[in-house]
Protein backbone atom coordinates (compact mmCIF):
# COMPACT_ATOMS: atom_id res chain seq x y z
CA UNK A 1 0.00 0.00 0.00
CA UNK A 2 1.23 3.48 -0.87
CA UNK A 3 0.34 6.78 0.73
CA UNK A 4 0.54 10.33 -0.49
CA UNK A 5 0.15 13.29 1.82
CA UNK A 6 0.26 17.00 1.09
CA UNK A 7 0.72 19.88 3.48
CA UNK A 8 -2.03 22.37 2.64
CA UNK A 9 -1.35 26.09 2.67
CA UNK A 10 -4.04 28.55 3.71
CA UNK A 11 -3.24 30.75 0.71
CA UNK A 12 -3.41 27.98 -1.89
CA UNK A 13 -6.03 28.05 -4.61
CA UNK A 14 -8.31 25.19 -5.71
CA UNK A 15 -6.13 22.52 -7.29
CA UNK A 16 -6.50 18.90 -8.47
CA UNK A 17 -3.53 16.56 -9.10
CA UNK A 18 -3.59 13.07 -10.62
CA UNK A 19 -0.31 11.14 -10.68
CA UNK A 20 0.36 7.88 -12.50
CA UNK A 21 3.28 5.60 -11.75
CA UNK A 22 3.67 1.97 -12.95
CA UNK A 23 -0.02 1.17 -13.02
CA UNK A 24 -0.83 2.74 -9.60
CA UNK A 25 -2.86 5.94 -9.35
CA UNK A 26 -2.24 8.35 -6.54
CA UNK A 27 -5.00 10.87 -6.21
CA UNK A 28 -4.73 14.09 -4.25
CA UNK A 29 -7.32 16.82 -4.24
CA UNK A 30 -6.71 20.18 -2.57
CA UNK A 31 -9.63 22.45 -2.25
CA UNK A 32 -8.63 25.34 -0.10
CA UNK A 33 -10.54 28.37 0.90
CA UNK A 34 -9.27 31.38 2.74
CA UNK A 35 -9.21 30.91 6.48
CA UNK A 36 -9.88 27.22 6.07
CA UNK A 37 -9.03 24.88 8.94
CA UNK A 38 -7.83 22.13 6.54
CA UNK A 39 -4.39 20.94 7.53
CA UNK A 40 -3.92 17.59 5.77
CA UNK A 41 -5.53 15.59 3.01
CA UNK A 42 -4.37 11.99 2.73
CA UNK A 43 -5.21 9.39 0.09
CA UNK A 44 -4.06 5.80 0.57
CA UNK A 45 -4.28 3.50 -2.44
CA UNK A 46 -3.44 0.01 -3.57
CA UNK A 47 -3.07 -0.99 -7.29
CA UNK A 48 -6.27 0.29 -8.81
CA UNK A 49 -7.06 -2.79 -10.85
CA UNK A 50 -8.21 -4.30 -7.53
CA UNK A 51 -10.79 -1.49 -7.38
CA UNK A 52 -10.05 -0.60 -3.79
CA UNK A 53 -9.29 2.93 -2.58
CA UNK A 54 -9.11 3.97 1.06
CA UNK A 55 -9.67 7.67 1.73
CA UNK A 56 -8.93 9.48 4.99
CA UNK A 57 -9.71 13.18 5.27
CA UNK A 58 -9.05 15.36 8.28
CA UNK A 59 -11.24 18.38 7.71
CA UNK A 60 -14.31 20.02 9.10
CA UNK A 61 -15.75 20.03 5.59
CA UNK A 62 -15.27 16.26 5.19
CA UNK A 63 -18.63 15.70 3.52
CA UNK A 64 -17.76 17.96 0.62
CA UNK A 65 -14.31 16.44 0.27
CA UNK A 66 -15.66 12.90 0.25
CA UNK A 67 -18.07 13.76 -2.53
CA UNK A 68 -15.21 15.13 -4.61
CA UNK A 69 -13.11 12.03 -4.01
CA UNK A 70 -16.02 9.77 -4.96
CA UNK A 71 -16.48 11.69 -8.19
CA UNK A 72 -12.82 11.25 -9.05
CA UNK A 73 -13.00 7.57 -8.15
CA UNK A 74 -15.89 7.12 -10.55
CA UNK A 75 -13.90 8.84 -13.30
CA UNK A 76 -10.97 6.49 -12.71
CA UNK A 77 -13.22 3.43 -12.95
CA UNK A 78 -14.24 4.54 -16.44
CA UNK A 79 -10.63 4.36 -17.61
CA UNK A 80 -9.69 1.27 -15.61
CA UNK A 81 -8.71 -0.68 -18.74
CA UNK A 82 -5.47 1.27 -18.91
CA UNK A 83 -4.59 0.33 -15.35
CA UNK A 84 -4.11 -3.41 -15.98
CA UNK A 85 -0.42 -4.28 -15.61
CA UNK A 86 1.42 -5.80 -18.57
CA UNK A 87 1.92 -9.11 -16.73
CA UNK A 88 -1.82 -9.85 -16.94
CA UNK A 89 -2.22 -9.21 -20.66
CA UNK A 90 -3.43 -12.16 -22.67
CA UNK A 91 -1.06 -14.10 -24.91
CA UNK A 92 -1.18 -13.26 -28.61
CA UNK A 93 0.99 -16.06 -29.97
CA UNK A 94 1.43 -19.77 -29.31
CA UNK A 95 4.14 -22.11 -30.57
CA UNK A 96 4.76 -25.83 -30.11
CA UNK A 97 8.27 -27.17 -29.62
CA UNK A 98 10.28 -30.09 -28.29
CA UNK A 99 11.32 -29.87 -24.65
CA UNK A 100 14.68 -31.51 -25.46
CA UNK A 101 16.89 -32.48 -28.40
CA UNK A 102 15.36 -35.33 -30.44
CA UNK A 103 17.23 -38.62 -30.81
CA UNK A 104 17.69 -40.55 -34.05
CA UNK A 105 16.58 -44.16 -34.51
CA UNK A 106 18.70 -46.42 -36.77
CA UNK A 107 17.18 -49.75 -37.85
CA UNK A 108 17.15 -51.91 -40.99
CA UNK A 109 19.62 -49.61 -42.73
CA UNK A 110 17.49 -46.49 -42.28
CA UNK A 111 17.93 -43.56 -39.88
CA UNK A 112 14.85 -41.67 -38.73
CA UNK A 113 15.04 -38.47 -36.67
CA UNK A 114 12.15 -36.30 -35.42
CA UNK A 115 12.73 -32.74 -36.64
CA UNK A 116 9.89 -30.72 -35.12
CA UNK A 117 6.24 -30.92 -34.07
CA UNK A 118 3.74 -29.39 -36.47
CA UNK A 119 1.43 -26.77 -35.00
CA UNK A 120 -2.28 -27.01 -35.74
CA UNK A 121 -5.14 -24.65 -34.95
CA UNK A 122 -4.92 -22.10 -32.15
CA UNK A 123 -7.33 -22.68 -29.26
CA UNK A 124 -9.31 -19.87 -27.63
CA UNK A 125 -11.47 -19.50 -24.54
CA UNK A 126 -13.83 -16.83 -23.31
CA UNK A 127 -16.72 -14.75 -24.56
CA UNK A 128 -17.15 -12.10 -25.85
CA UNK A 129 -13.37 -11.53 -25.83
CA UNK A 130 -11.53 -14.65 -26.95
CA UNK A 131 -8.34 -15.46 -25.07
CA UNK A 132 -5.59 -17.55 -26.66
CA UNK A 133 -4.93 -20.53 -24.37
CA UNK A 134 -2.95 -22.94 -26.55
CA UNK A 135 -2.73 -24.80 -29.84
CA UNK A 136 -3.18 -28.31 -31.16
CA UNK A 137 -0.24 -30.46 -32.19
CA UNK A 138 -1.21 -31.52 -35.71
CA UNK A 139 1.66 -33.83 -36.60
CA UNK A 140 5.36 -34.58 -36.70
CA UNK A 141 8.09 -33.73 -39.21
CA UNK A 142 10.71 -36.47 -39.68
CA UNK A 143 14.01 -36.77 -41.51
CA UNK A 144 14.47 -40.24 -43.04
CA UNK A 145 17.80 -41.35 -44.50
CA UNK A 146 18.33 -44.49 -46.56
CA UNK A 147 21.80 -45.74 -45.64
CA UNK A 148 21.58 -48.88 -47.83
CA UNK A 149 22.55 -49.55 -51.41
CA UNK A 150 18.98 -50.51 -52.29
CA UNK A 151 15.77 -48.66 -52.91
CA UNK A 152 13.66 -48.18 -49.79
CA UNK A 153 9.91 -47.59 -49.76
CA UNK A 154 8.13 -45.78 -46.91
CA UNK A 155 4.70 -47.40 -46.70
CA UNK A 156 2.66 -44.72 -44.97
CA UNK A 157 -0.59 -46.61 -45.52
CA UNK A 158 0.75 -49.38 -43.25
CA UNK A 159 2.21 -46.97 -40.70
CA UNK A 160 0.48 -45.55 -37.62
CA UNK A 161 0.64 -42.45 -35.44
CA UNK A 162 -0.33 -42.03 -31.79
CA UNK A 163 -0.56 -39.30 -29.17
CA UNK A 164 0.71 -40.07 -25.66
CA UNK A 165 0.37 -43.77 -26.42
CA UNK A 166 -3.19 -43.51 -27.73
CA UNK A 167 -3.48 -44.95 -31.29
CA UNK A 168 -4.83 -42.41 -33.76
CA UNK A 169 -4.76 -44.39 -37.01
CA UNK A 170 -2.95 -44.07 -40.32
CA UNK A 171 -1.09 -40.76 -40.73
CA UNK A 172 -2.44 -38.13 -43.08
CA UNK A 173 0.29 -37.10 -45.53
CA UNK A 174 1.02 -34.05 -47.64
CA UNK A 175 -0.79 -33.81 -51.01
CA UNK A 176 -3.55 -36.18 -49.88
CA UNK A 177 -7.19 -35.16 -50.17
CA UNK A 178 -8.77 -34.29 -46.84
CA UNK A 179 -11.66 -36.67 -47.50
CA UNK A 180 -9.14 -39.52 -47.68
CA UNK A 181 -7.69 -38.91 -44.22
CA UNK A 182 -7.44 -42.14 -42.21
CA UNK A 183 -7.90 -44.42 -45.22
CA UNK A 184 -4.94 -46.81 -45.64
CA UNK A 185 -5.77 -47.55 -49.28
CA UNK A 186 -5.59 -43.82 -50.13
CA UNK A 187 -2.38 -43.17 -48.19
CA UNK A 188 0.68 -43.19 -50.47
CA UNK A 189 3.92 -45.17 -50.35
CA UNK A 190 6.98 -43.06 -51.15
CA UNK A 191 10.31 -44.43 -52.51
CA UNK A 192 13.64 -43.29 -51.14
CA UNK A 193 16.80 -43.82 -53.23
CA UNK A 194 20.03 -45.31 -51.79
CA UNK A 195 21.92 -42.70 -49.76
CA UNK A 196 19.08 -40.16 -50.00
CA UNK A 197 17.52 -38.17 -47.17
CA UNK A 198 14.07 -36.61 -47.20
CA UNK A 199 11.82 -34.80 -44.75
CA UNK A 200 8.23 -35.99 -44.33
CA UNK A 201 5.42 -34.49 -42.25
CA UNK A 202 2.91 -37.00 -40.91
CA UNK A 203 -0.35 -35.46 -39.63
CA UNK A 204 -3.03 -36.82 -37.36
CA UNK A 205 -5.97 -38.09 -39.43
CA UNK A 206 -8.69 -36.32 -37.42
CA UNK A 207 -9.02 -33.47 -39.92
CA UNK A 208 -12.30 -31.54 -39.83
CA UNK A 209 -14.37 -29.27 -42.02
CA UNK A 210 -15.49 -25.97 -40.44
CA UNK A 211 -16.23 -23.57 -43.31
CA UNK A 212 -13.01 -24.98 -44.76
CA UNK A 213 -10.78 -27.99 -44.15
CA UNK A 214 -8.60 -27.75 -41.06
CA UNK A 215 -5.86 -29.94 -39.68
CA UNK A 216 -6.84 -31.84 -36.55
CA UNK A 217 -4.50 -32.75 -33.75
CA UNK A 218 -4.50 -32.73 -29.98
CA UNK A 219 -3.76 -30.29 -27.17
CA UNK A 220 -0.55 -31.20 -25.29
CA UNK A 221 -0.67 -31.78 -21.56
CA UNK A 222 0.75 -29.16 -19.22
CA UNK A 223 3.97 -31.14 -18.73
CA UNK A 224 4.22 -32.09 -22.42
CA UNK A 225 2.99 -34.88 -24.69
CA UNK A 226 4.77 -37.44 -26.88
CA UNK A 227 4.12 -38.13 -30.56
CA UNK A 228 4.73 -41.78 -31.40
CA UNK A 229 4.90 -43.51 -34.76
CA UNK A 230 5.38 -46.99 -36.16
CA UNK A 231 6.80 -46.41 -39.62
CA UNK A 232 6.46 -49.23 -42.15
CA UNK A 233 9.40 -49.58 -44.55
CA UNK A 234 10.50 -52.07 -47.18
CA UNK A 235 14.12 -52.22 -48.33
CA UNK A 236 14.90 -53.83 -51.68
CA UNK A 237 12.99 -57.08 -52.18
CA UNK A 238 12.59 -57.63 -48.44
CA UNK A 239 9.44 -57.79 -46.38
CA UNK A 240 7.78 -54.85 -44.69
CA UNK A 241 9.35 -54.01 -41.32
CA UNK A 242 8.34 -51.45 -38.73
CA UNK A 243 10.53 -48.80 -37.10
CA UNK A 244 9.18 -47.26 -33.85
CA UNK A 245 9.91 -43.57 -33.35
CA UNK A 246 9.01 -41.37 -30.37
CA UNK A 247 9.42 -37.63 -30.24
CA UNK A 248 10.65 -35.75 -27.16
CA UNK A 249 7.85 -34.18 -25.12
CA UNK A 250 6.01 -31.50 -27.05
CA UNK A 251 5.22 -28.38 -25.00
CA UNK A 252 3.33 -25.16 -25.63
CA UNK A 253 5.00 -21.77 -25.58
CA UNK A 254 2.60 -18.86 -25.06
CA UNK A 255 3.86 -15.36 -25.77
Number of domains in the chain: 2
- Dump pLDDT digits (tens) for 134-189: 889 999 999 999 999 999 999 999 999 999 999 999 999 998 999 999 999 999 99
Is 206 in the same domain as 103? yes
Looking up residue 153, the CATH number of its domain turns out to be 2.60.40
Same domain, 248 and 162: yes
User: Given 66, 86, 106, which residue is the final one in a domain?
Assistant: 86
> Taking the C-alpha atoms of 133, 135, 136 and 140 in order, what is their torsion angle to the nearest 10 degrees?
-150
Same domain membership, residue 228 and residue 131:
yes
- Lowest-pLDDT range of 15-29, 78-92, 201-215, 238-252: 15-29
If asked whether residues 44 and 117 sit together in one domain, one would say: no
| Same domain membership, residue 45 and residue 139 | no
Kindly give, in sequence order, each residue whose CB lies less than 8 Å from that of residue 74, ignoring residues fewer than 6 positions away: none
Q: Give the 3-state DSSP-derived string for 24-55, with helices as H, strands as E and coil as C.
A: EEEEEEECCCCCCCCCEEEEEECCHHHCCEEE
User: What is the Cα–Cα distance from 72 to 29, expressed in whole angstroms?
Assistant: 9
The residue with greater pLDDT, 65 or 111, is 111
Residues 128 and 233 in one domain: yes
pLDDT tens sequence across 189-198? 999 999 999 9
pLDDT of residue 133: 79
Residues 37 and 144 in one domain: no
Q: For the chain, give the percent of residues with pLDDT over 70.
A: 66
Task: Verify that 145 and 73 share a domain, yes or no.
Answer: no
pLDDT band at 207 (very low <50, low <70, confident <90, very high): confident
- Strand, helix or coil at 177? coil
Q: Which of 35, 52, 86 is the last residue before a domain boundary?
A: 86
Q: Are residues 140 and 75 in the same domain?
A: no
Same domain membership, residue 98 and residue 76: no
pLDDT digits (tens, 9 = 90+) for 8-66: 333 333 443 333 333 433 444 444 344 444 444 444 444 444 444 444 444 556 667 77
Query: pTM higher than 0.85 for the full model?
Result: no
* Mean pLDDT on 223-229: 96
User: So what's the pLDDT on residue 89?
Assistant: 52
**Domain, as residue range, for 186:** 94-254
**Banded pLDDT at 70 (limits 50, 70, 90):** confident
The reply to whether 78 and 113 lie within a common domain is no
Looking at residue 67, its pLDDT comes to 75
Section 130-136 average pLDDT: 82
Distance between CA atoms of residues 154 and 136, nearest Å = 26
39 and 114 in a single domain? The answer is no
Out of 39, 58, 86, pick the residue that ends a domain.
Answer: 86
pLDDT for residue 128: 58
Amino acid sequence: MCSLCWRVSRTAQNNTNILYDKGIFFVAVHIIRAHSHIKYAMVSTIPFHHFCVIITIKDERSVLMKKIFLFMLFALVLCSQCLIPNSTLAATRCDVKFSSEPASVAMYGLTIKPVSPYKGENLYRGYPTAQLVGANVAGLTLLITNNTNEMAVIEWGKSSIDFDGKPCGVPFMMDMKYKDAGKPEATPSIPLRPGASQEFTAFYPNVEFIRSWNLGGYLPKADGSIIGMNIAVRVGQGNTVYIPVDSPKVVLQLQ
